[in-house]
């Protein structure tokens, strides 16, 4: 059992008590003020300023083009809106190549308003996670499919399909927990393996594409509201059609100005 040595601010501590109470965590990404404010007002437990913003906000092909400047800007904007949820910001690609860099960039994101920073990787990131802990910077882990490695891996692949890979994931989950993180994201992990990890850890697991038995779920907000129609992940269940509404409203506006009807 891990004992966090970083004193967690209340919104992060609430994640731990939710797991203890058996309450599932509903968490989402946000990158702008109005969306973050609406999500916060809706009572979502955790808001992630994810580096997925590179794709769904900035139109990049993957997250590897996201920089610290991007993350600092969006974290500042989202922090202005959030009064209740735990606010977590991603450390972007290559910003935590060493423990010292993880701490320097982690500090900047906390100064921009994040309660915690998230970084991708398992046991191999232990030095960075321990450095963050020792610097008093709360962290969230992220194992399984790591979007920042998509180019090396040649695509987005499910993790934990073979017994050795499942063992590696379980070992990584334990290593990340031992660094005192507040929670861990499990991305695209075979559901049975994600369920096992959820059972053996005391920190909350937050799943995406990893089945229904994690302690919570995270989704990219665009996938929930149907705001990025050009790519919809297989596990996304859009509950609205914002793209359709924008197209309808823009066409109605266009016609009202031009006098045409499409
Ligand atoms: O960048 C992101 O949005 C993420 C989540 C999908 C977990 O890391």
| CATH top-level class of 10-219 | alpha beta
Residue 260 binned pLDDT confidence (cut-offs 50, 70, 90) = confident
Helix H or strand E segment including 49 = strand 46-49
- pTM for this prediction: 0.95
Per-residue burial over 208-225, b = 16 or more CB atoms within 10 Å of its CB, e = otherwise: bbbbeebbbbbbbbbbbb
Q: How many CA atoms lie within 13 A of 124 on its CB side?
A: 10
Average pLDDT in the 169-195 region?
Answer: 98
Q: Is 262's pLDDT higher than 60?
A: no
Per-residue pLDDT, 145: 96
Q: Is 47's pLDDT higher than 90?
A: yes
pLDDT above 90 as % of the chain? 91
Residue 103 binned pLDDT confidence (cut-offs 50, 70, 90) = very high
Per-residue pLDDT, 57: 98
Show Cβ contacts of residue 229 under 8 Å, excluding neighbours closer than 6 positions: 243, 244
Average pLDDT in the 170-188 region?
Answer: 98
Q: Where are the beta strands (DSSP E) in 86-182?
A: 86-90, 116-118, 139-144
What is the CA(50)–ligand 1 centre distance, in A? 5
Which residue's alpha carbon is at the smallest distance from atom 4 of ligand 1? Answer: 50
Q: Is 113's pLDDT higher than 80?
A: yes
Does residue 145 line the site of ligand 1, with CB under 6 A?
no
Show Cβ contacts of residue 200 under 8 Å, excluding neighbours closer than 6 positions: 170, 173, 174
Q: What is the 3-state secondary structure (H, E, C) of 8-25?
A: CCHHHHHHHHHHHHCCCE
Per-residue pLDDT, 64: 97
Per-residue pLDDT, 52: 98
Residue 108 binned pLDDT confidence (cut-offs 50, 70, 90) = very high
**Counts of helices then strands in the chain (DSSP H, E):** 11, 8
**Beta-bridge partners for 29:** 48
What is the CA(74)–ligand 1 centre distance, in A? 14
Q: Is 1's pLDDT higher than 70?
A: no
Q: Is 82's pLDDT higher than 70?
A: yes
Residue 220 binned pLDDT confidence (cut-offs 50, 70, 90) = very high
Mean pLDDT over each residue of the chain, to the nearest integer: 95
Per-residue pLDDT, 54: 98
Q: Is 191's pLDDT higher than 60?
A: yes
| Separation between Cα atoms, residue 227 and residue 101, nearest integer Å | 34
Tokens of 246: 């924008």
Closest CA to 137 of 99, 166, 163: 99
Residue 242 binned pLDDT confidence (cut-offs 50, 70, 90) = very high
Average pLDDT in the 93-105 region?
Answer: 98
Tokens of 193: 């393996």
Per-residue pLDDT, 3: 53
| Residues 2-15 pLDDT 10s | 556 777 879 999 99
Does residue 117 line the site of ligand 1, with CB under 6 A?
no
| Residues 232-241 pLDDT 10s | 998 889 999 9
Does residue 48 line the site of ligand 1, with CB under 6 A?
yes
Q: Give the number of the atom of ligand 1 that is nearest the alpha carbon of residue 90.
A: 1
Average pLDDT in the 223-238 region?
Answer: 93
| Separation between Cα atoms, residue 240 and residue 131, nearest integer Å | 41
Does residue 108 line the site of ligand 1, with CB under 6 A?
no
Q: Is 34's pLDDT higher than 90?
A: yes
What is the CA(253)–ligand 1 centre distance, in A? 34
Does residue 30 line the site of ligand 1, with CB under 6 A?
no
What secondary structure letter does DSSP report for 211? Answer: -
Residues forming the active site: 187
What is the CA(52)–ligand 1 centre distance, in A? 6
């Amino acid at each position: 059992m891990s004992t966090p040595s970083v004193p967690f601010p209340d919104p992060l501590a609430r994640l731990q008590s939710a797991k203890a109470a058996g309450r599932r965590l509903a968490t989402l990404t946000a990158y702008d003020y109005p969306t973050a404010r609406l999500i916060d007002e809706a009572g979502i437990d955790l808001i992630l300023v994810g580096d997925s913003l590179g794709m769904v906000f900035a139109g990049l092909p993957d997250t590897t083009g996201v920089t610290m400047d991007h993350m600092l800007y969006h974290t500042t904007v989202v922090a202005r809106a959030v009064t209740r949820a735990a606010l977590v910001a991603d450390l972007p690609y290559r910003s935590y190549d060493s423990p010292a860099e993880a701490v320097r960039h982690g500090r900047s994101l906390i100064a921009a308003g994040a309660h915690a920073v998230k970084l991708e990787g398992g046991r191999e990131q232990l030095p960075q996670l321990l450095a963050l802990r020792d610097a008093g910077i709360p962290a969230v882990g992220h194992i399984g499919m790591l979007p920042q490695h998509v180019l090396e891996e040649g695509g987005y692949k499910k993790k934990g399909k073979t017994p050795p890979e499942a063992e590696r994931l379980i070992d990584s989950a334990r290593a990340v927990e031992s660094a005192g993180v507040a929670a861990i994201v499990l991305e695209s992990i075979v559901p049975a393996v994600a369920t096992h990890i959820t059972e053996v850890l005391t920190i909350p697991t937050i799943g995406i594409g990893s089945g229904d038995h994690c302690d919570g779920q995270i989704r990219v907000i665009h996938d929930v509201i149907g705001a990025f129609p050009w790519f919809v992940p297989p596990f996304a269940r859009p509950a609205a059609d914002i793209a359709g509404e924008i197209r309808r409203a823009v066409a109605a506006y266009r016609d009202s100005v031009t006098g045409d009807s499409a």
